[in-house]
Amino acid sequence: MGNALEASRPPTRHIGGRAFTFIEILATMALLAIVLPAVMTGISLCLSTAGLAKQQAQASSLGHSKLMELVAGGQWQQTGLAGDFGDQWPDYRWAAQVSNWDGTVLRELDLTVSWRHQGKDRNVMLSTLVYTGAQQ
């Protein structure tokens, strides 16, 4: 009789060995609580560094263009060389100064591009030599 009842019941599966235990879930959550803040800090630092690198590249490009404009137009000989880059680049400012270079017919033109990144003043400086044609 026992055999007839067992034959009519569908077979049952034992799933006790396949599920996660409460201890395993707690250990996983504890590990995540330790690792996740460090990972998020790293991601935040990477994003900030990437933003600064992008701004430095932009400042260098703007500075190079302005430096070439000053040299090509002969404006480098004026005093009070400073300004901004217009409405397209309102966060960036530039200032230039000319100094003697080694007592020769060359002058050194230094151009500094400034901006703010995360509340700190940042700048990039570019320099070139300009031939004056006359000993001064």
Tell me the per-residue pLDDT of 29-86, one tens digit each, with 9 for 90 and over: 999 999 999 999 999 999 999 999 999 999 999 999 999 999 999 888 888 899 999 9
- Domain-located, residue 104: yes
Task: Name the domain count of the chain.
Answer: 1
- Domain-located, residue 16: no
- Domain-located, residue 111: yes
Contact by Cβ (8 Å): 91, 115: yes
pLDDT reported for residue 32: 93
> In CATH, what number is assigned to the domain containing residue 99?
3.30.1300
pLDDT reported for residue 80: 83
- Domain-located, residue 6: no
Q: Which domain holds residue 32?
A: 21-131
Using CA atoms, how far apart are residues 58 and 42, in angstroms rounded to an integer? 24
- Domain-located, residue 11: no
- Domain-located, residue 68: yes
Q: Among 50, 69, 62, 56, which residue's Cα sits nearest to residue 124?
A: 56
Task: Using pLDDT thresholds of 50, 70 and 90, give the confidence band for residue 28.
Answer: very high
- Domain-located, residue 127: yes
- Domain-located, residue 67: yes
pLDDT reported for residue 11: 62
What order of strands is seen across the sheet that includes strand 120-131? 82-84, 93-100, 106-117, 120-131
Average pLDDT for 98-126: 92
Higher pLDDT, 78 or 10: 78
Contact by Cβ (8 Å): 70, 81: yes
